[in-house]
Every structure is written in structure tokens, then in C-alpha cells.
């Protein structure tokens, strides 16, 4: 009789290979859609230096960028509504449906920006339409985060949730990186500076709308997660998403606390860095784009590495590392960055910040998902996260520019450090979700 035990140990069973292939396909499709959504959202920031004068007439470029940053923040104000709406959709009708609808909304937002006339043509209606587009995109993104974090975590193997869920931020950062790469191509290959300022800034939003349609088609063919199907078959009565969320006040408070410092740091070293390196450090447009693109590539590489480490040592040590390093090093890094004129030093300093910021970004999705049971998971991840991001993340560029306009830019450095310290207090007192996960509770 043939002994199949050793063969099974040495060679993966066909069923195991099929399961791994299915999980990887689902994660790929979910991640690609996430990249497209974030590309659409970040194209606004990448091209703000070019379109801001068309929507906010002023002789002061700082004022123009402040107005653009204010609308960027407005997109975050509605994210809690999007988190509730799409979280409810994901928890009641499925993750796939929620993810598909959210990317369709992002398509509409990009199209509005692409075709809106300038202030010179329609007056105040121009910034009003721009604001409407950002609200639509904010609603979409508010739902995208919770649904995609839940989906990627649920389809991952239990022993590798940190690694696979880290690809949410790989694609999130990848979306911003893609927007910057489009900017580089337009700056250096296809358009002159004058053409880019005059009309070329509309191109990335047309591209975004097209990519969103492609992502919608892909997401229609995603399979639903086993966790959601199991909860659906359980026959338990489903409450309204917000009413159900009230049963988990501790978990909601943890999401708010652990997110505050992380999201403020993330939007500082991604969104605001484009403006900071250009206006404060004083580098040219193209050099600024290269510096930011290089730092984002480095940040993307760190995400799965840190996610893999969290699968070995737990989530809490990674968060504490970010909290301690962020509290102590944020002010020195930003102060040194403001004083340099070298693009290489600027790149190294921003990358140095990512060494600790990745301690949060790589695993925050899985930590939040592991806090809640299946029936309320998407809402539990999305709503408190979106609310916190609206307060601390989306406002970071506007707060930094406000301090700069007042002549006290360095005050923002201390503000960011303080917010990270508050989150550190949460990290040191929360349980490690890797060892106390609610992922197996199909309720």
C-alpha cells in the first residue's frame, strides 16, 4: 500500500493549491480596484499645483493651494457617511456589491472634475462643481476602505492575514504613485508646461474614470467571502448598521484612537509632502515629483514586509514601534527637511519617516477587521475610521498650510507629534488582535 502521508507533506494537495489560487485571485482583484479608487482620489492632489489657479483666482500661490487643500479636506468630511452607507451595504448584501458600487461613484467624481469649466468661464460655479466632485469621491472612498479592508482580510489565510491585508496600503500608496507617474509622463514626455497648466491637468481625471469602469467590471466577477456567506446562512437577525455598532463601544474607541496618529502621519508624508517639498524645501516641480515618487516606492515595499512580520510577532509591537518613533522623530525629520535644499537628503528623510509610519499603515486594516464580528465588520471598520480620518487625516494638509500662511510652519510638526503620542497611549493599552481576533465569529 502506498504511503501518501510524506508526499502530502512535501507536495501541496491539489485542493490546497486551488484554494491558494482562489485566495490570491480574490486579493488581486480587490487590490486592483482599491488602487484605481485611490488613484482617482489622489490625482486631485498630484495635479493641484496646475489646476488650482483655474478654480481659485489669487495672486498668492499659498492661498490657492490652501483653497485646494480645503476642498481636499471636504472630501474627507463626507467619508463617515460613505463609511456608513457602504458598510451597511457590505454587511447586509455582501462585500462584492459594496465594492462594485463604490468604484462606480468614483468614476462619476473623476468625470465631473475632467469636464468642469474654469472660474474664468462660469465663475463661482467652477469651485462649487469641484466641491461636488470631491464630495462624491469622498463618499465613495469612505465606503471603499471598510469594504476592501474587510474583504482582503476575510479572503486571506488565517495565518497570513497581516501579509495579505497589507496589500490594501500597497495599492493605496500605489494609487498615489500611479497619479504621480502620470504626472511625470505628462511633464516630461507628452506636454509642455504651458499645455499642462492650460488643459493637460484634465487628462488624469479622464484616465481615472476609464480605470474605474475597468475595476467595476473586474469586481462584478469577484467571489463573495466565506465569512459573509457563513454569517448569511446563520439566519441571525440583522440590525441596522449603526444600531449594531453601538454594541461595540470599546472596539469603536480603539479604532478612533489607533487611527488618529497614523492617518495624520500618512497624509503628511504622502499628500502634504508634494506641496511641502515644492514650497518649503524649494525644489522644482519635476524634482519634487521624483522625490515623492521614490519615497512612495520605498513605502510600498515596506508594507508587505511589515505585514509579514506582524504575522510572526503580533500587531501590537508594530503599532507601538510607530507610536514611539513617530512621537520622537517627527519634529527632527520635518525640521531637517525644511532646511535642506538637496533632493537626495529630502528623499532619505521622507523614506526615514516611512520606516516607522509603515508600522501603522501595513497592519491597520487587519487590526480593525480583527476587532469586529462578521455581521458588523465592514461598518465597524469603515465608520469610526472615516470619522477619524476626516478629523485628523484629511485636515492635515490644510492645517499645515494654515500654520505656514501664519508664519509658524514648525507648529505643525509639534501638532503631528502630539497626535501620534495620543495614539501611542492606545497602542500600549489595547490587546493584540492577532491573539484575540473576532474573525472567526460568524454573527
CA dist list (Å): 108 to 3, 39, 208, 381, 382: 60, 14, 10, 25, 22
User: Cell numbers at residue 169, please?
Assistant: 496600503
- Cα separation of 352 and 329, whole Å? 10
Q: Is the dihedral of CA 300, 96, 309, 359 positive or negative?
A: positive
For the chain, the straight-line distance linking the first and the last C-alpha, in angstroms and rounded, comes to 45
Residue 362 near residue 303, CB atoms below 8 Å: yes
3-state secondary structure of 13: coil
Q: Which residue has the higher pLDDT, 14 or 134?
A: 134
Residue 88 has which C-alpha cell? 451597511
φ/ψ of 153, rounded to 5, equals -70, -40
Supply the pLDDT for residue 322.
97
Q: Would you say 212 and 107 are in contact if contact means Cβ atoms under 8 Å apart?
A: yes
36 close to 211: Cβ distance less than 8 angstroms: yes
Confidence of residue 6 (pLDDT cuts 50, 70, 90): very low
In the block, cell 440590525 appears at 239
Nearest-5° Cα angle at 201, 55 to 126: 25
**Rounded average pLDDT over 123-134:** 82
Residue 391 and residue 215: Cα distance in Å, rounded? 29
Q: Which of 25-29, 133-137, 229-233 has the highest mean pLDDT?
A: 133-137
pLDDT at residue 334, rounded to an integer: 95
For residues 27 and 160, is the Cβ–Cβ distance under 8 A? no
> Taking all residues of the chain, what is their mean pLDDT, rounded to a whole number?
82
For the chain, helix (H) and strand (E) counts, in that order, are 23, 0
3-state DSSP call for residue 58?
coil
pLDDT of 405-437, one tens digit each?
888 889 999 999 999 999 999 999 998 877 776
Q: pLDDT per residue over 24-74, tens digit each?
A: 776 777 677 778 777 877 787 778 778 777 777 666 566 556 666 666 666
Which has more pLDDT, 442 or 280? Answer: 280
The pLDDT value recorded for residue 3 is 45
Instruction: Return the pLDDT at 197.
Output: 81
pLDDT of residue 8: 44
Residue whose C-alpha is closest to residue 170's, from 45, 292, 28: 28
Cell numbers found for residue 47: 495635479
pLDDT: which is higher, 334 or 85: 334
Q: What is residue 5's predicted lDDT score, i.e. its pLDDT?
A: 44
Average pLDDT over residues 266-292: 85
Mean pLDDT across 229-250: 70
Q: What's residue 333's pLDDT?
A: 95
Least confident of 17-26, 92-101, 121-130: 17-26
Exposed e or buried b for every residue in 165-187, given b needs 16+ CB within 10 A? bbbbbbbbbbbbbbbbbbbeebb
Separation of alpha carbons 264 and 392, rounded Å: 5
Pick from 193-207, 231-245, 344-358: least confident: 231-245
**Residue range 169-191: mean pLDDT, rounded:** 85
Which residue is associated with the grid cell 518613533? 325
The dihedral sign for the CA sequence 180, 55, 387, 276: positive
What's the CA gap between 366 and 376, in Å, rounded? 15
What is the total residue count of the chain? 443
> Could you say which of 3.40.190.10, 1.20.1250.20, 3.30.450.20, 3.20.20.70 is the CATH number of the domain covering 23-228+242-429?
1.20.1250.20
What's the confidence (pLDDT) of residue 19?
A: 58
Smallest Cα–Cα separation from 218: which of 88, 85, 39, 28? Answer: 28
Q: Write the CA distances from 260 to 8, 239, 299, 394, 416, integer angstroms.
A: 47, 28, 19, 11, 10
Please name which of 385, 397, 361, 363 lies closest in space to residue 268, comparing C-alpha atoms.
397
Check whether 320 has a pLDDT greater than 70.
Answer: yes
Taking residues 180-204, what's their average pLDDT?
85
Residue ranges per domain, the chain? 23-228+242-429
CB 225 within 8 Å of CB 91:
no
Q: Please give the radius of gyration of the chain, using alpha carbons only, rounded to the nearest integer.
A: 22
Element (H, E) at 129: helix 125-155
- Tell me, what's the pLDDT at 16? 58
Q: What is the structure's pLDDT at 65?
A: 61
pLDDT at 43: 83
> 3-class DSSP state for residue 340?
coil
- Asked which of 7-11, 108-112, 192-196, 217-221 is least confident by mean pLDDT, the reply is 7-11
pTM: 0.81
Nearest to 140 by CA among 33, 238, 222: 33
Residues 210 and 114: beta-carbon distance below 8 Å: no
Q: Tell me: pLDDT of 75 over 80.
A: no
Rounded distance between C-alpha atoms, residue 418 and residue 390, angstroms: 17
- Confidence label for 9 from pLDDT (cuts 50, 70 and 90): very low
For residue 147, which of 194, 204, 105 has the smallest C-alpha distance? 105
The string of DSSP letters for 205-270 reads: HHHHHHHHHHHHHHHTTPPPPHHHHHHHHTTPPPPPHHHHHTT-HHHHHHHHHHHHHHHHHHHIII
CA diameter of the chain: 87
User: Rounded to whole angstroms, how far apart are CA atoms 106 and 433?
Assistant: 32
Amino acid at each position: 500500500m502506498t504511503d501518501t502521508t510524506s508526499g502530502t507533506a512535501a507536495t501541496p494537495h491539489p485542493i490546497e493549491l486551488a484554494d491558494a489560487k482562489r485566495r490570491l485571485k480574490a486579493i488581486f482583484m480587490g487590490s486592483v480596484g482599491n488602487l484605481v479608487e485611490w488613484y482617482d482620489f489622489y490625482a486631485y492632489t498630484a495635479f493641484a499645483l496646475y489646476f488650482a489657479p483655474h478654480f481659485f483666482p489669487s495672486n498668492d500661490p499659498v492661498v490657492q493651494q490652501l483653497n485646494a487643500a480645503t476642498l481636499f479636506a471636504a472630501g474627507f468630511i463626507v467619508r463617515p457617511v460613505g463609511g456608513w452607507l457602504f458598510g451597511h451595504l457590505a454587511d447586509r448584501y455582501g462585500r462584492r456589491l459594496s465594492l462594485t458600487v463604490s468604484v462606480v461613484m468614483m468614476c462619476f467624481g473623476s468625470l465631473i472634475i475632467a469636464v468642469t469649466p474654469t472660474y474664468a468661464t462660469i465663475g463661482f460655479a467652477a469651485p462649487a462643481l469641484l466641491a461636488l466632485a470631491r464630495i462624491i469621491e469622498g463618499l465613495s472612498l469612505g465606503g471603499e476602505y471598510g469594504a476592501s479592508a474587510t474583504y482582503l482580510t476575510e479572503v486571506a489565510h488565517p495565518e497570513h492575514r497581516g501579509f495579505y491585508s497589507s496589500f490594501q496600503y500597497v495599492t493605496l500608496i500605489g494609487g498615489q504613485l500611479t497619479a504621480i507617474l502620470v504626472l511625470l509622463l505628462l511633464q516630461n514626455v507628452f506636454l509642455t508646461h504651458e499645455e499642462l497648466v492650460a488643459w493637460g491637468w484634465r487628462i488624469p481625471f479622464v484616465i481615472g474614470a476609464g480605470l474605474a469602469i475597468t475595476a467595476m467590471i473586474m469586481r462584478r466577477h469577484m467571489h463573495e467571502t466565506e465569512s459573509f456567506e457563513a454569517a448569511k446562512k446563520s439566519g441571525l437577525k440583522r440590525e441596522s448598521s449603526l444600531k449594531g455598532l453601538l454594541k461595540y463601544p470599546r472596539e469603536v474607541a480603539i479604532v478612533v484612537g489607533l487611527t488618529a496618529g497614523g492617518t495624520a502621519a500618512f497624509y503628511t508624508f504622502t499628500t502634504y509632502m508634494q506641496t511641502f517639498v515644492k514650497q518649503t524645501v524649494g525644489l522644482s516641480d519635476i524634482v519634487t515629483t521624483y522625490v515623492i515618487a521614490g519615497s512612495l516606492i520605498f513605502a510600498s515595499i515596506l508594507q508587505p514586509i511589515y505585514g509579514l512580520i506582524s504575522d510572526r510577532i503580533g500587531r501590537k509591537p508594530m503599532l507601538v514601534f510607530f507610536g514611539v518613533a513617530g512621537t520622537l522623530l517627527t519634529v527632527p525629520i520635518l525640521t531637517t527637511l525644511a532646511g535642506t535644499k538637496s533632493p537626495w537628503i529630502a528623499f532619505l528623510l521622507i523614506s526615514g519617516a516611512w520606516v516607522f509610519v509603515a508600522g501603522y499603515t501595513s497592519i491597520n486594516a487587519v487590526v480593525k477587521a480583527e476587532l469586529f464580528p462578521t455581521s458588523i465588520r465592514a461598518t465597524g471598520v469603515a465608520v469610526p475610521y472615516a470619522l477619524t480620518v476626516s478629523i485628523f487625516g484629511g485636515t492635515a494638509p490644510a492645517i499645515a498650510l494654515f500654520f505656514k500662511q501664519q508664519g509658524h510652519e514648525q507648529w505643525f510638526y509639534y501638532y503631528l507629534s502630539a497626535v501620534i503620542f495620543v495614539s501611542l497611549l492606545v497602542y500600549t493599552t489595547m490587546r493584540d488582535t492577532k491573539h484575540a481576533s473576532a474573525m472567526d465569529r460568524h454573527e
